[in-house]
Structure 1
């Protein structure tokens, strides 16, 4: 179960608080601490980041970031994976990557943990969609399905051998079966 605390503070005040482990998010005026990732969640998260970065990073198309704080539209969220097109990644004048991402991700990916509210996680992806995110994935390990949220908040469910939608420019072909095959080491 996620913990919600009704704050009497602003987004700016929230951002000055020390980081928590696991991360806390500021959504709809509430501070919500994410659940601690477990085995399935961590496996999908790392393997999916690697799959995306393997094809998108060398050509400077995009980069997938695990657990990256994204602050935009009056909220501060930490998607399980935030993918940014290369041209939108904030860099410092020195060429180093910025620490603060005050923009929406191009592709936001959430993996539902057993104790997490599916409605709250979907609400976060819909918020991203309303604020410019091109694609969202809501991954359900228990059901081995993936819900995609497109621009305009169109929603589609994918299962089995269904080929998953990917943001334009990333030459990656994944099926739902492929994503969940990463959970088996045998």
Structure 2
């Protein structure tokens, strides 16, 4: 992860810069390049997006986006998964979602990558919660656990058969065991 202190670069100036690969975020005046996802991270991200969207897209309840830049509260972050309620999505004249997301997601999901600092990721989740986000997950594939964050509540540690709290109105019942079972891809 690359961190560049940039006291002279404003958020507006940052947003005009070309996108980087992996993407960079603007957090508290710093430009922080996200780590390149590895296999386990990508597997969990893909399966979660698929699972969430299978439940929410048909009824136009919400939509889960991978790596969506969200700019709000003086920062520009890219959650691994940003879930937005359908009613908050903004569409253009052709019925397509607008390109620039200028709000916090309703549910932010972060998956720790190897060598990624959990406190930096937690800082982004807390920023989301402080700006209207209703739910945050911090998934740690190394210890097979999920920290669930909700506004004005202590984080909830979930693993094994613990049922994971999801965004209100979403009919999704997942346990830690089910999520981390997605990592097993070899022959039975």
User: Which band: TM-score by shorter chain?
Assistant: over 0.9
Query: Which residue of 1 is the match for residue 72 of structure 2?
Result: 72
**2:143 aligned with 1:143, yes or no?**
yes
SS at match of 1:127: helix
Q: 1:154 to 1:90 in 2, by over 3 A?
A: farther
Query: Which residue of 1 is the match for residue 20 of structure 2?
Result: 20
Query: Which residue of 2 is the match for residue 164 of structure 1?
Result: 164
The Cα RMSD (Å) is 0.8
Query: Which residue of 2 is the match for residue 113 of structure 1?
Result: 113
Q: Residues 132-180 of structure 1, C-alpha deviation per residue, up to 9 Å, x if partnerless?
A: 1000000000000000110125311001000000101111100000000
Query: Which residue of 1 is the match for residue 84 of structure 2?
Result: 84
Query: Which residue of 2 is the match for residue 175 of structure 1?
Result: 175
Runs of 4+ residues over 3 Å off in structure 1: none
Query: Which residue of 1 is the match for residue 129 of structure 2?
Result: 129
**2:154 aligned with 1:154, yes or no?**
yes
Contact kept in structure 2, 1:71 and 1:101, CA below 8 Å: yes
SS at match of 1:152: coil
TM-score, structure 1 normalization: 0.97
Contact kept in structure 2, 1:126 and 1:153, CA below 8 Å: no
Rounded Cα–Cα distance in structure 2 between residues aligned with 1:162 and 1:169: 19
Q: Any gaps of 5 or more consecutive residues in structure 2?
A: none
Pairs aligned (count): 185
